[in-house]
Structure 1
C-alpha cells in the first residue's frame, strides 16, 4: 500500500464572489456591499468615509443616510462601485440605504463614534469566555453578565487565509450584551469599555486575529519582499506547478461546507460514521502511538477529520457504568464505544477541555470492546494530549499505546474535502508545499486587506510569542508591518501594542523579543504596554486581560484625547558611567521613580567581556544607580533579562 500524503491548509476561504452579501441573498439583490457595512456597525466620526461593493455593470447607485444628503455614483464595467461621504460627530442611531432604480439595501442601528482595529495572535484572540479549563479569564462571569452596553460593538473577522490579496471575508457586527460579549476578544473589549466610559461615545472594534501566528503572516507581499527574508518561501508558494498539483488533488473529492455555528457541528455527517462500527475492517489503517499529535505523520500533515480506533479487553462482565477519561482533545471529538456514541465536545475554543464521558454498562461486554474517536482538527496542532484511561469494576485500563488511524476529510479553502475511504488508502498524494496560518502574507491578504479602506481611528496589537527566538528579525519585521498597514490606509494612525506575556519560553529567548518590541517605539505615533507584572510564568495566556486592555486605552486617551493621566511606566532614556557605577535615566517618570519592594531586583551590569552580574540598584534623584562586585569598569546594563 502506498502511503497517504496529505496537505495541511486550514481555512483558506477563497470564495467565488467578490464581496460577501449583506442583508439579502444574491438571488434577491444584485447589490452587494462589503460585510463591514451592515446593521449595528460603528463609523468613524467626523471623517470622510468610503463605502464600497458590487452591483450590475454600468448602472446608477445612490446612497441615502439620515445625516447627509443623497449621493450617487455609477458602477464600472466590472460592476464595482464606491461612494465617499462625510460623517458627523459621535451619535446615532442612524440608518443608511443603498439603492438602484430596481432594488435597495437598508442598514439600521448605525452608530458614529470611534473605530479601532484589534489584531495579533492568541492573547488578542482569547475571548471573555476564556478557553477553560486551563486558559481562564479573571472575573469572566461577572464581566459578561455586566456587558450590556449598546455603545460598544465588535466585528470579528472569521479566520481566513489566502496567497493572493482578496476582498472576501466573513464576520458580523454584534452589540455588547451578556449574550454576545463572551465571544468578544477580551483585550479589545476592555480597551473599548474604558474608552467608551471616559469619552462617552460609541466605540467599534474590528477584531482580526489568529492564535499562534507570526508577524510575517500579517504583512503584505510588497512590503515583505523589501526585506528579502522570505523570498524563497514566497517563490515556492507561487510555483505554478505546485498550484496545478494542488488543484488536481482536490478535484478528486466531494466538498462539504465547514459549519459556521456550534450547533451545526452536532449533526455533521460526512458519510464516515460507519468507521465507528466494530465490524468495520480497519486492519489496513496506519498505526500511531497516543497520547500525542495526530496531525503530523511521517508522510503527511493535515487539518481535518481523523478517526482513531483501539480495542480493549474487559476481564469480567460489567456490573456498573465505566468512566472514560480522554484528557484534552485538539480540537473536537465524537467518541464511540462499540459503535454507539458516548460523548462529544464540539465548537470553537474546545481544544483545552478535558473530556470525561460515562460509558453505560449496557454498551460494554466481557472480552473485546472497541473505542473509536472521530477527531476534528480545525487549525494548528491536533491530537490527544493527556493520559487515556477507562475505569470501572474496580479496575483501571490504560488506553495509551498503539492505535489505528485513518484520515477521512481534509480542510482546505473553507470546506471539508471528503475522501472516498476505500480509494484514499491506496493513493500516493503529491508532495505539495504547505500553506497554513504561519505562511508569509496569507493573513494580511485575507484578514487585513479586505478591511481597507474602512475608516479607523487606530490599531491595537498583541503578538510576538510565535516570533520568540527570532528577535533580530522581528526588530525589522514588526515596524515594517506597522508602516505597511499605515500605507494601506494612507494615514499615519496610532498603533499601540502589548509586549509578549512573561512565560517560560525556554532558553531565555523572550527578553530579546521584548527588547525588539521596545525598539519599535522609535516609530512615531506608537505606544507600548508592559505586562511583566500581570503575566503568568506557567501559562502563556495570562488571565488578566482587563489591565492589558485598560493600559492600551490609557495610551489612546492620553495621546489621542489629551487626557491628563499616566499612560506608561518608565522607559530607558540614557545612561552615564561614573567610575564603577552606571547611572540610568528614564522618560515617563510620572510623579517620580518608586518601588513597591526593596531592594530593587532584576538589574544586571557587565564589563567589556559582557559577562553580566546581578547589580546593586538604588533610586537616586529619579535615576537608577547600579554597581556590582567585581566589575570595576561597567559597560553594559540590562533589566528583567529573563523569560519570567
Structure 2
C-alpha cells in the first residue's frame, strides 16, 4: 500500500509539474494540512509542501520523524507510517522555520463532492435550526475548498479545518455533514470531511482534460469547447488591440465586452474543477468519496455511462490508494408528473449511474427516487439522503451488519402474457408504500408503446406485471420518468432502484456535446 500511495502521489505531482514557481525560503504546507485536521487512520500518510531547494525538512508526528530535502523546484514530501484513531496530537514541520499544527486528530476522512445538491448547506435543509443547534461534535472536522475553475493545475487553496459546532456547521454541505455525523455516532472515531462540491457543475469539469482527449468518445465534446475557447481568445485579442489603439490615439477606449470568463472559468469547461478544486487535495489520505451530481449531464445520459466511471478511475489512479470506496446519490424525482409512460433523460441518467456499480469495484448508489420535490431541484431533506449513503460505508467499509443496497432488477420471465420479475437485495421482502398494490410499472410489446401495468408481489423477491392492453409483453419499466409515481421498498425501507428490462435506444443516445 505504501508503494502504491507513493506512486499515486508522484503521479499527482507530475500532473502539476508547473506548481512551484519561485523558490520559497520558508517551509510551507498546503491548506489541506492545518490545525484541527483529521488524518486518515490505518493508512500510510503523505505529507508534502515547499521549501528552499536543497533545504533539510523534518516532519515529526506521533513519535515518528521523517527527514527529506526540498527538490529543485522546492517541493518536498514524506510518508508516515499508519496511525490508529485518536488524538489530539501535534505535527511539527521544520526547516529554516518551524510550522506546528495543533489539535490534530486521526480517524476517518471522506471527500464530499458533486454539484449543488452536495453543496447544499445545513442552513438550507430541513429543520436547519434544530440541526445547527445540536451540531456539537468537536471530533468532527470540516474543511471546504473554494470554487476555482481553471485549466492551470493548482497547488493550493484558501481554506482551513474547522471544529464542527453550531457556529461552523451552517454553511457546510448538509449531505456531507449528516453522512459524517452518522459515521461518527456509529464508529466513535474522529471524522474529517472535505467539501469540494460546486453547484451546477458538469462531470467533465471534474476529469483531467488529457483523460478526455485520449478517448474518441469525447471528441465532439472537446471540439465544442475548443471552438468556444478560440472565440474567447479572438474576442479578447480584438478588445485589447482596440484598447491599445484608442490609447495611442488619445481616444476613449472601447466599452468592455461581456466578460466570457464566466464560461472559461466556470464549472462546465472540461478539466476546470479538477485543476482548480480537486487537485490541491489529491494525495491527502482519505477513506473514500461520496458524490451527488448528474443533473447537469442528464441531457447526455448515455455519454455519462462512460464519463462517470472515467472520472472515478482518474481520481483513484492519481490518489494512489487503489479502488477506494466511491458512493453516489442517484438523481431524485423532479419536474411535473406525466400522465402516461414515456421517455425521460433523467431516467436514462439514473440508469447510467446504476450501471457504474457493475463497471467499477467498490462503488455504490443511494437511491432517493422518493425524496425529491417536483417544483425544486434541491430537495431539502438531506438527512435521509446522507443516511442511505452512510449505510453503504458502514456495511461495506466498517463491518456494520446492516442492509445497505436498494433492491435491484435481476431477471425476467414471460409466460401467459405476463412478466415475472426477479430482484436482488430485497431485504425483508417487498413493502409497498401507502397502498397495497405496487405502482410505477409500465409494459410494452414489440411496438415499444408503453402503457401503465398492473403488478402483484408473488414472492419475497418476485413481482408479476401485466396489462390487458399488451398481450405479448417485451419490456417492463419501473419508475422510468423524471418524476415517477412509484411505491416499492424493501422491508427495511430502501426504495426499489428504477430500471428497465429493454435496451431500446433512449432520447439521449446520440447526445455527445
TM-score range, shorter chain: 0.7 to 0.9
Structure 1 position 593, deviation (Å): 1.7
Structure 1 position 226, deviation (Å): 3.1
Q: In the alignment, is the contact (CA less than 8 A) between 2:38 and 2:104 conserved in 1?
A: yes
Q: In the alignment, is the contact (CA less than 8 A) between 2:112 and 2:290 conserved in 1?
A: yes
Q: In the alignment, is the contact (CA less than 8 A) between 1:242 and 1:433 conserved in 2?
A: no
Q: Which residue of 1 is the match for residue 150 of structure 2?
A: 162
Structure 1 position 242, deviation (Å): 5.9
- How many residue pairs get aligned? The number is 447
Q: 2:101 aligns with which of 107, 115, 129?
A: 107
The 1:199–1:637 alpha-carbon spacing in structure 2 relative to 1, beyond 3 Å, is: same
Question: How does 1:107-506 map onto structure 2 within 5 Å?
Answer: 107-130=101-124, 137-228=125-216, 229=218, 230-233=221-224, 235-236=226-227, 246=236, 423=252, 426=255, 434-435=263-264, 436-490=266-320, 491-504=322-335
Structure 1 position 505, deviation (Å): 7.6
1:516 equivalent in alignment to 2:352: yes
1:50 equivalent in alignment to 2:38: no
CA distance in 2, matches of 1:211, 1:162: 16
CA distance in 2, matches of 1:172, 1:443: 19
Q: TM-score if structure 2 supplies the norm length?
A: 0.82
Q: Which residue of 2 is the match for residue 579 of structure 1?
A: 416
Relative contact order (alpha carbons < 8 A, sep ≥ 6): 1 or 2 greater? Answer: 1
Structure 1 position 612, deviation (Å): 0.7
Q: Which residue of 2 is the match for residue 635 of structure 1?
A: 474
Q: Which residue of 2 is the match for residue 64 of structure 1?
A: 60
CA distance in 2, matches of 1:427, 1:485: 39
1:525 equivalent in alignment to 2:362: yes
The 1:113–1:631 alpha-carbon spacing in structure 2 relative to 1, beyond 3 Å, is: same
1:76 equivalent in alignment to 2:71: yes
Structure 1 position 252, deviation (Å): 11
CA distance in 1, matches of 2:234, 2:449: 55
Stretches of structure 1 that go unaligned for 5 or more consecutive residues are 1-13, 20-25, 131-136, 254-421
Q: Which residue of 1 is the match for residue 453 of structure 2?
A: 615
The 1:175–1:424 alpha-carbon spacing in structure 2 relative to 1, beyond 3 Å, is: farther
CA distance in 2, matches of 1:636, 1:125: 38
1:541 equivalent in alignment to 2:378: yes
The 1:56–1:517 alpha-carbon spacing in structure 2 relative to 1, beyond 3 Å, is: same
Deviations 1:41-62 (CA, angstroms, capped at 9, x unpaired): 0000011111111111111000
The 1:530–1:251 alpha-carbon spacing in structure 2 relative to 1, beyond 3 Å, is: farther
Q: Which residue of 1 is the match for residue 26 of structure 2?
A: 30
Deviations 1:209-247 (CA, angstroms, capped at 9, x unpaired): 1101111111111221233323314544776x9658748
Deviations 1:125-158 (CA, angstroms, capped at 9, x unpaired): 011111xxxxxx2110010001010111111000
Q: In the alignment, is the contact (CA less than 8 A) between 2:121 and 2:171 conserved in 1?
A: yes
Q: In the alignment, is the contact (CA less than 8 A) between 1:236 and 1:433 conserved in 2?
A: no
The 1:494–1:626 alpha-carbon spacing in structure 2 relative to 1, beyond 3 Å, is: same
3-state SS in 2 of match to 1:539: coil
CA distance in 1, matches of 2:241, 2:66: 45
Structure 1 position 165, deviation (Å): 2.3
1:559 equivalent in alignment to 2:389: no
Structure 1 position 500, deviation (Å): 1.3
Structure 1 runs of 4+ with >3 Å offset: 16-19, 233-239, 241-253, 422-434, 505-508
3-state SS in 2 of match to 1:51: strand
Q: Which residue of 2 is the match for residue 588 of structure 1?
A: 425
**RMSD over equivalenced CA pairs, Å:** 2.7
